[in-house]
Amino acid sequence: MTRRALATLIFTTAFLAIPPAIAVEGSLSPPKCAAQSDNAAPALAYIIASSAAVRAAPSATAELLAYAPIARPLNLFCQQDGWVKVSVIGPVGANGWLRADLAGPELPTRDAALAALRSAQATNFAALRTHSERVLAFDPLDEDNFEAVLQVVRNAGDAEWTQKLERRLAALRAPAVAQGSDEPKVLFIASNGSMRPLARLDGGKLSTFPSIGGSGEAYDKGYRKYVARYFAPGRAYHFYTRGGVEGMAIVQRFSDELEQPMATIRRVAAKAPEANGLLANFTLTERQPDGELAVSPGQQKAALELARSVLKSRSVQRADIARILESQNVAINAIPGQDGAAPVLVMTANLEIPPEKPEQEAQVFRIYTLLLVMEANNQGKYELTHQVFKKASAEGEGATLDFLTHADVNQDGKADLVLREGFYESNGYWILGRQGKGWKELVESNRGN
């Protein structure tokens, strides 16, 4: 997914303020970029601000590539006009330019940040707020962090900042889902302990997020505003899985690559905290989640027979058909049928077969992706109602499809299927809803703002 394509996924407005990068003095002395050898080894450095923007060029108006959080390690190559050329180590993984005063040679710690806060002059409210956010950035949901910061800020007499922090702490202790008066109904994917934007719901129709618009500083401002609203640490969302609601999820920390904006989350009142699902800022349903449905031997046999028939019709080699259906990457899930009907079966199969002669210069893979939705007819026999088949021949070009959960996402009284499409370095998400006797993708491209 490109940065331009990503921009179509983003909302704007503000919720709880996430401040811009907060600078702290560092003591780096990398070589000048013009004088650096191409083979020079990089120096290890760390982000010493609450967060820092990585840009495509050494300029505050250059393209924004990513935000790196406090304590994130960097490979630092050289400096130019108050900027350093870096490669961010870890999930962000961006290569670009960073303001030199936002990086330092020593790994920042929460204790050191708290010590700096306590030693700041009580009359210097700007410094107090800077150091406060640095302390909180290490763990935005840690109540002890808030209490320690509040003690210093109260003693300094910064009433405005004290009130803001007290409101954030109160929301953390008693989380509640709230949809802003100017905020659309939004849905996020919850998977593997993180959240990613999925869609907005308007009048029963699902669409991608509208574009921020603009470029340079205008884009940066809009993007920060979006992050401040929807990814604010402590913000609560309803958590939906298996057709029902199970508590909430609280935003922990924003982790941004701009290709896939995301945040880590913490589940609240959850029986299965690791479950995949959806997050929403509105009430999608009030019923309890469906129980897990076991796939019977008969249902499994029917699914595999239908899969074999589909693969054969797609001219897949007999040997490959056996390898696909016997692999560990076959998953068959059952969800409740409509109006008491037999369960709907959702089967996914993903397999990458390497070339038989790996020494060949042009290596040809056989990468298969299969999705089947199967439902019982009036005689109780399972039939195909939706299928997706893909084949790729080069490593990195293939995709995977995995079933995540089911929910009545568009609120039409029918269960929809939520799936993850995995690519070489990113993920996309589908919502399949009923269309007559079949299924269709429900999230439409939003061409407006």
* CATH code, domain carrying 52: 2.30.30.40
Domain assignment of residue 407, given as a range:
297-444
| Cβ count within 10 A of residue 315 | 7
Is position 142 within any domain?
A: no
Instruction: Count how many domains the chain has.
Output: 2
Rounded Cα distance between 407 and 149, Å, is: 41
Rounded Cα distance between 142 and 124, Å, is: 25
CA 23 to chain centre: 27
Residue at which a domain ends, from 104, 121, 150:
104
Is position 203 within any domain?
A: no
* Full pLDDT tens readout for the chain, 449 residues: 333 333 333 332 222 333 333 333 455 778 888 766 666 789 999 999 998 989 999 998 888 888 888 999 999 999 999 999 999 997 667 899 999 999 999 999 999 999 999 999 999 999 999 999 999 999 888 999 999 999 999 999 999 999 999 998 998 899 999 998 889 999 999 998 999 999 999 988 999 875 666 777 777 778 888 888 899 889 999 999 999 999 999 999 887 666 667 889 999 888 888 889 999 999 999 999 999 899 999 999 999 999 999 999 999 999 999 999 998 899 999 999 988 889 999 999 999 888 776 665 556 688 999 999 999 999 999 999 999 999 988 766 778 999 999 999 999 999 999 999 988 767 889 999 998 889 999 998 754 43
Is position 277 within any domain?
A: no
> Which residue, 367, 281, 279, 277, is CA-closest to 320?
367
Would you state the structure tokens that stand for residue 446, as one six-digit string? 């939003």
Burial code (b: 16+ CB inside 10 Å, e: under 16) for 160-174 equals ebbebbeebbebbee
pTM of the model: 0.80
Is position 344 within any domain?
A: yes
Residue at which a domain ends, from 41, 69, 104:
104
